[in-house]
């Protein structure tokens, strides 16, 4: 499958590498490919510059959001929560129409200091905003409740004995995403419901951030025991 991963941060890189490793044709989308490749030194998140990762993954092309999305059959939104709607607008609604948009972002707002708050929250979610802004896309919220390393290698923690959620209005889109998740090693994919259930998944982030702090590791995840 042709997949466009929008976003060049750690989540985007990790997903692009893993999906390519599964045999998919993957391109990464960014606002300005030249500028992204020209950046040197660590990013604001501490990640090494994208050019370093790209040098080791030259088979994964870096393109504009629009070029990446136009050829793709499935689009992954791995941008920051605050940049998601702008990135998808750059990709272009025509390039998203009819396609599965797998949204893995979190609407974290750091503008009021630490810890970040969610925006939108409670009566809305980023997943819903994306679906609403691009009504012809088939948005599925997933994977936002865990670290990037576990997104693509769940088996490295407890043999994969933990859970991942999908939320979305389109049953076929959720099926396609579920199959992709299972191919990555996810054993317990829970369908939370329509896209409004993304509120539930997104609102687990404040607990996740606290757990990161108190457990001192990113290698943890939620399991729904039943």
Q: Is 112 in the site for a second copy (CB under 8 A)?
A: yes
Q: Is the peptide bond before 120 cis (omega within 30 degrees of 0)?
A: yes
- Rank residues 15 and 192 by Cβ distance to a second copy and give the closer one: 192
Retrieve residue 155's tokens: 């088996």
Give the three-class secondary structure for 207: helix
121 near a second copy, rule: CB under 8 A: yes
If phi over 0 gives left and psi between -120 and 50 gives alpha, with beta otherwise, what is residue 127? alpha
Q: Is the dihedral of CA 201, 120, 149, 57 positive or negative?
A: positive
CA distance 208 to 4: 27
- The least distance separating a second copy from the CB of residue 204, rounded to whole angstroms, comes to 5
| Options 32, 43, 136, 161; binder of a second copy; rule CB under 8 A | 161
Rounded least distance, CB 131 to a second copy, Å = 16
Place of tokens 């020209």: 38
171 in contact with a second copy (CB under 8 A): no
Of 38, 94, 158, 183, which lies in the binding site for a second copy, with binding defined by CB under 8 A?
A: 158
Provide the binding-site residues for a second copy, judged by CB under 8 A. Answer: 112, 115, 117-118, 121-123, 157-158, 161-162, 165, 190-193, 196-197, 199-201, 203-204, 206-211, 213-215, 217, 219-226
């Amino acid at each position: 499958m042709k997949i466009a991963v929008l976003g060049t941060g750690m989540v985007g890189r990790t997903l692009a590498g893993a999906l390519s490793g599964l045999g998919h044709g993957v391109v990464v989308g960014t606002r300005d490919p030249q500028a992204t490749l020209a950046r040197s030194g660590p990013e604001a998140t501490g990640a090494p510059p994208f050019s370093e990762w790209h040098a080791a993954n030259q088979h994964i092309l870096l393109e504009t959001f629009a070029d990446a999305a136009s050829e793709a059959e499935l689009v992954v939104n791995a941008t920051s929560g605050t940049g998601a709607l702008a990135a998808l607008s750059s990709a272009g609604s025509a390039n998203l129409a009819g396609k599965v948009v797998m949204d893995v972002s979190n609407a974290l707002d750091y503008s009021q200091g630490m810890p970040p708050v969610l925006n939108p929250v409670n009566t809305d979610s980023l997943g819903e905003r994306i679906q609403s802004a691009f009504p012809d896309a088939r948005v599925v919220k997933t994977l936002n409740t865990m670290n990037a390393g576990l997104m693509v290698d769940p088996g490295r923690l407890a043999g994969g004995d933990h859970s991942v959620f999908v939320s979305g209005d389109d049953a076929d889109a959720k099926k396609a995403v579920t199959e992709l998740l299972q191919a990555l090693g996810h054993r317990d994919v829970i369908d939370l419901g329509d896209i409004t259930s993304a509120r539930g998944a997104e609102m687990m982030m404040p607990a996740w951030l606290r757990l990161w702090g108190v457990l001192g590791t990113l290698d943890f995840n939620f399991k729904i025991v039943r």
